[in-house]
Amino acid sequence: MAQEVTLFDLASKPPSRLVLNYKSLPYKTHWLEFPDIAPHLQPLGIPPNTQGKSYTVPTIHLPSSPSYPDGENIMDSKAIAIALEAKYPEPHLHLDAPELGRAEELWMQLLRSLVGVFGPRVDSTLLNDRSREYTEANIHLEGKPDGDDAWASAKPMLGDIGALLKEKGGPYVLGET
């Protein structure tokens, strides 16, 4: 049985929990609000990111191992998935599939195109008052296309995502997997 992993996360960010659940790994979750991320993670000795925001979630703390006697801290969903796949290879995540790089690229383009549509709705529907005030003060959506303009800019990416799903017969990027 694997030792328990500690996950630091927002209630609205499921990807790392999906990997932990898929691999049937025991874990506990510390729920954080946006303004509490850095003040909570920094005192734990977690080094800041080298790019972007200094501290982000999800972040995990892996149990101690011969290579990491004090355990290992990892920020970023993709880095977490890679580390979990290396440490717990079964069931396999297929992170080495070439289609995944293209899917990630399209997903990020789509998010950038639609941030003016979903960003304000996330603030008003998913976040509590403390996190909403923090994001309103720190994440600026002014000038981002919204409404019909945003959907028009996203349309080519949606078509590309549909084509990528069809390449392997869907319903997933890797077909049935």
Any long-range contacts for 69-73 (C-beta under 8 Å, 24+ apart)?
73/41, 73/44, 73/45, 73/46, 73/47
Give phi and psi for 150, each to the nearest 5.
Answer: -65, -45
CB 173 within 8 A of CB 100: yes
Q: What is the pTM of this model?
A: 0.83
**Per-residue pLDDT reduced to its tens digit, 111-168:** 999 999 988 887 778 888 888 888 888 887 888 888 899 999 999 999 999 999 999 9
Which of 70, 88, 62, 67 is CA-nearest to residue 7? 62
Determine the Cα–Cα distance for residues 121 and 35; give it in Å rounded to an integer.
19
CB 79 within 8 A of CB 51: no
